[in-house]
């Protein structure tokens, strides 16, 4: 089965070729340490391919939903990410080029992934001043419990009960 990222674009080598739009919807499994592209809703991309001297200009848009985990408090949230693409596929370049057309088909997977992933935060934070899990837990674990729960589980309340009984 051919990849939904692979398109036959060899004819665009010709300067006389008409610009062409391509688009696709793909379920991907790409992730960084704390951010991942969700398989649903699917990633969409639509690109306009225009023959220019020595290559094919690529202009368009990528849209995907990314789930982030806060680096401090581990909270998770989702973000609809839209990226504009402005790239060049060389047709007479060498292996130094990022994107090069060899043969008739081009696999857009690396381009789409790079454009989408390179702008994602390496250290996502739910808010700029997130105090984080460590700070919250370190301050006092018991603040999450109601006062009654604290009293019931406290060794001092047990001792107090014993003393009360002793009277
Ligand atoms: Zn956070």
Q: Which residue has the tokens 């603040």?
A: 143
pLDDT of residue 141: 46
Give the residue numbers spanning the domain of 152.
Answer: 134-166
What's the Cα-to-Cα distance from 107 to each of 4, 8, 101, 119, 164, rounded to whole Å?
9, 9, 9, 21, 78
59 and 141 inside one domain: no
In a domain, 127, yes or no: no
User: What is the reported pLDDT for 14?
Assistant: 87
21 and 86 together in one domain:
yes
In a domain, 28, yes or no: yes
Q: Domain count of the chain?
A: 2
Q: Is residue 122 part of a domain?
A: no
Residues 31 and 93 in one domain: yes
**Ligand 1 center–CA 150 separation, angstroms:** 27
Ligand 1 centroid vs 38 CA: distance in angstroms? 20
Q: Please give the distance, rounded to the nearest whole angstrom, from the Cα atom of residue 132 to the centre of ligand 1.
A: 5
CA of 126 relative to ligand 1 center, distance in Å:
4
Residue 134: the pLDDT is: 60
φ and ψ at residue 77, rounded to 5 degrees: -150, 165
- Same structural domain for residues 81 and 141? no
Q: Distance from the CA of 39 to the center of ligand 1, in angstroms? A: 24
Structure tokens at 78: 């989702």
Residue 150 domain flag: yes
83 and 145 assigned to the same domain: no
Averaged over successive runs of 10 residues, the pLDDT of the chain (167 residues) comes to 90 91 97 95 98 94 97 95 96 85 96 94 94 61 50 56 61
Residue 81 forms part of a structural domain = yes
Query: Taking the model in full, what pTM does it have?
Result: 0.76
Residue 163 Cα to ligand 1 midpoint, Å, equals 45
Q: Are residues 10 and 92 located together in one domain of the fold?
A: yes
Query: Which residues crowd ion ligand 1, with CB under 5 Å?
Result: 70, 72-73, 75, 126, 130
Query: Would you say residue 30 lies in a domain?
Result: yes
Cα(121) to centroid of ligand 1, in Å? 14
> What is the whole-number distance in angstroms between the Cα of residue 123 and the centre of ligand 1?
11
Residue 1 forms part of a structural domain: no
User: pLDDT value at position 150?
Assistant: 47
Judgement on whether residues 152 and 95 belong to the same structural domain of the protein: no
129 domain-assigned: no
Q: What confidence score (pLDDT) does residue 95 get?
A: 77
Residues 69 and 150 in one domain: no
Same domain, 58 and 113: yes
């Amino acid at each position: 089965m051919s990849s939904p990222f692979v398109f036959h674009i060899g004819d665009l080598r010709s300067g006389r070729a008409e610009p062409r739009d391509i688009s696709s919807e793909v379920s991907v499994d790409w992730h960084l340490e704390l951010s991942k592209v969700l398989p649903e809703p699917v990633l969409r991309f639509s690109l306009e391919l225009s023959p220019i001297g020595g290559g094919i200009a690529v202009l368009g848009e990528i849209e995907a939903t990314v789930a982030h985990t806060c680096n401090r408090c581990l909270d998770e949230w989702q973000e609809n990410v839209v990226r504009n693409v402005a790239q060049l596929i060389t047709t007479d370049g060498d292996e130094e080029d990022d994107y090069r057309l060899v043969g008739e088909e081009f696999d857009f997977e690396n381009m789409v992934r790079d454009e989408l992933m390179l702008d994602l935060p390496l250290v996502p934070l739910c808010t700029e001043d997130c105090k984080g899990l460590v700070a919250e837990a370190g301050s006092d674990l018991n603040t999450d419990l109601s006062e009654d729960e604290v009293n019931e589980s406290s060794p001092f309340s047990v001792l107090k009960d014993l003393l009360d009984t002793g009277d």
